[in-house]
Amino acid sequence: MWPNMFITMEISNDFRQLGLSEKALHAIKQKGFEQPTPIQKITIPVLLNETCDVIAQAQTGTGKTAAFGLPIIDMLDGQPKGIKALVLVPTRELALQVCDEMLSLAEKRVVIAAVYGGQSISEQQRRIKKGVDIVVGTPGRILDLINRGDLDFSNLQMFVLDEADEMLNMGFIEDIEAIMKHTPSQKRVLLFSATMPDRIVKLAKNYMKEPKKLEVDKAKLTTGLTDQIYFEVREADKFDALTRIIDIEPEFYGLVFCRTRNDVDVVTSKLVERGYAAEGLHGEISQAQREKTLGKFRKKIINILIATDVAARGIDIVDLTHVINYSLPQDPESYIHRIGRTGRAGKQGTAITFVSPEEYRKLNYFQKATKVNIRKELLPAAEDIVAVKREKIKEELHEIIRQGSYSEYLGMAEDLMEINSPEVALAAMLRLAFKSQLDVANYPEIRSFRVDTKGTTRLFIGLGKKDGMTPKKISEFIRKEVKIPDNKIDDILVRDDFSFITVPFTDAEKILKAFSNRTADGKPLVTKAKPKK
């Protein structure tokens, strides 16, 4: 279809090796970036050193704004004033995000303006008349300003289509083609898209000259700092499973993906009813409400955001702890796009997928298509969640004592202890304050189901959390001794003093043989698990 369909580059992680100017490197240092992302590694050198058009397949949150922004700023620095670059984006929010990001990278070397619907057009006209080098805008407002004679693209050098597939989904393809007609033929076109539907391919063929396609290996996109796991959960139990995941994490800050608008509304309502700080986003939410909700989420006034795929486009928040697939997306590309939102900015993130019996075959297809193993785990037990909550309460009480912010309650405490021992008085206060949080009955039983477990063996391992073990470390521990694929080690459960794994019969025999002489506290380190009675 295109020349150079798949390009990979193995270069130094240092931004300096990409060919950027000292001014660009200073801006990068100021922002705290330490290493270029995969899409930056393969895109920046091509934009700086070649003259070809570029198609880059990249998801939101992969650093693509800097991938095209840094080279464009370097190339325009020092040129006469006038619009030399146009960045077209699908939404008002994304226009603001891209503009802000480019401004922070430019450090006043070039003038950048964002134009979009919902803001006074006269204010945008005044800004353009003052002189700008780069315009970032939405298709509708760009066309409006073109028709009013406010935008002169006669000297345009770079035309960036960001989130091209999303603009297609929102019906902007005709607007894009109309804008293209107002730009010179001698320009570079840079197209960034998470997926490559046929209409995008057609657009590229019509308006791009032998573009070079840059793509990061999908397997690399879904690994790194994102731990991927799944839970087998019946459809009717997914909500209770969700609350368990939220409650087991003391600092949960996550994005929950649902398939439909109705699912978003239902899940959001149920979470709010139970006292969680949650809000939802979907296509029927007004722009004003969307911005208000995202503002609260960024400030962590709410810590749970429930959204559809379309509504979540353009949300670029780097410190999410979790992305949860309440239901599987439509295709592997959407799965990659979703989970890429966690594990950013050098922070470990977790991508969790709930899989019903009906979705299991689809999950297997996703794993094959993305070339990664999504590890199965068991949902946290109610007792474990309550134990985590108890520890958090203790930590909060110790912090209050450390800060000395309890003086107004000393009189009440003395009154209580006149007729009760300190232990009884404190226990009664804890029950009054936290009974609803520390009751295991708040977590209904979730019925388990098993899929494709024929021909497997459950193994007991005499190492647990007290030995520093996690599901990932257990898997690595086994594979260090026995050369078996990671995807053969399943259903990992780590307790304080021991762990369990499930593996195929043949691999179980290899593991037992490899560990036959290894012991822990005088007992065999790895044995067959005793069947449940």
Has residue 2 been placed in a domain?
no
pLDDT at 59: 65
Has residue 139 been placed in a domain?
yes
Query: What separation, in Å, do the N-terminal and C-terminal C-alpha atoms of the chain show?
Result: 60
Has residue 388 been placed in a domain?
yes
Place of tokens 């391919």: 201
Taking only the tens place, the pLDDT of each residue in 23-64 is: 999 998 887 777 787 889 999 999 999 999 999 987 666 678
Range of the domain at 465: 456-528
Cα 193 to Cα 62, 158, 181, 421, 495: the distances in Å are 12, 17, 21, 66, 43
Question: Same structural domain for residues 245 and 314?
Answer: yes
Listed residues 186, 216, 246: the one ending a domain: 216
Sheet holding 456-461, edge to edge: 490-494, 499-504, 456-461, 526-528
Question: Same structural domain for residues 387 and 371?
Answer: no
Q: Which of 459, 474, 449, 463 is nearest to 510 (CA)?
A: 459
Question: Same structural domain for residues 191 and 317?
Answer: no
Listed residues 163, 181, 216: the one ending a domain: 216
Instruction: Give me the tens of pLDDT residue by residue for the chain, a chain 533 residues long.
Output: 344 433 433 333 478 889 999 999 999 888 777 778 788 999 999 999 999 999 998 766 667 899 999 999 999 998 998 999 999 998 887 888 899 889 999 989 999 999 998 888 999 999 999 999 999 999 999 999 999 999 999 999 999 999 888 888 788 889 999 999 999 999 999 999 877 778 888 888 888 988 999 987 655 555 455 788 999 888 889 999 999 999 988 789 999 999 888 999 999 999 999 899 999 998 788 878 888 998 899 899 999 999 988 777 667 676 788 999 998 887 777 787 788 777 554 566 889 999 987 788 888 888 887 777 888 888 888 888 888 888 888 888 888 888 888 888 888 888 888 888 888 888 888 888 777 777 777 777 776 655 455 567 889 999 988 888 888 889 888 988 888 877 778 778 888 888 988 888 878 888 999 998 888 777 889 998 876 54
Question: Same structural domain for residues 472 and 426?
Answer: no
Question: Same structural domain for residues 344 and 465?
Answer: no
Question: Same structural domain for residues 352 and 423?
Answer: no
Q: Per the structure, how many domains does the chain have? A: 4
| Per-position b or e across 374-387, b if 16+ CB within 10 A of its CB | bbbbebbbbebbbe
Question: Same structural domain for residues 268 and 402?
Answer: no
Show the tokens assigned to 43.
């895109």
Question: Same structural domain for residues 254 and 323?
Answer: yes
Listed residues 166, 183, 216: the one ending a domain: 216
Question: Same structural domain for residues 237 and 160?
Answer: no
Residue 390: how many CA atoms within 13 Å on its side-chain side? 11
Report the CATH number at residue 323: 3.40.50.300
Per DSSP, the three-state class of 394 is helix
Question: Same structural domain for residues 235 and 359?
Answer: yes
Has residue 460 been placed in a domain?
yes
Has residue 8 been placed in a domain?
no
Taking only the tens place, the pLDDT of each residue in 316-363 is: 676 788 999 998 887 777 787 788 777 554 566 889 999 987 788 888
Q: What is the DSSP letter of 323?
A: E
φ/ψ of residue 213, rounded to 5? -100, 125
Has residue 4 been placed in a domain?
no
Has residue 450 been placed in a domain?
no
- Contact between 55 and 208 (Cβ < 8 Å): yes
Question: Same structural domain for residues 33 and 147?
Answer: yes
pLDDT at 10: 34
| Per-position b or e across 439-477, b if 16+ CB within 10 A of its CB | eeeebeebeeeeeeeeebbbbbbbbbeebebebeebbeb
Q: Give the whole-angstrom CA distance, residue 419 versus residue 435.
A: 22
Q: What number of H helices and E strands is found in the chain?
A: 21, 20
Question: Same structural domain for residues 323 and 427?
Answer: no
* pTM more than 0.85: no
Has residue 38 been placed in a domain?
yes
Q: Give the whole-angstrom CA distance, residue 246 versus residue 248.
A: 6
Q: Give the whole-angstrom CA distance, residue 69 versus residue 63.
A: 10
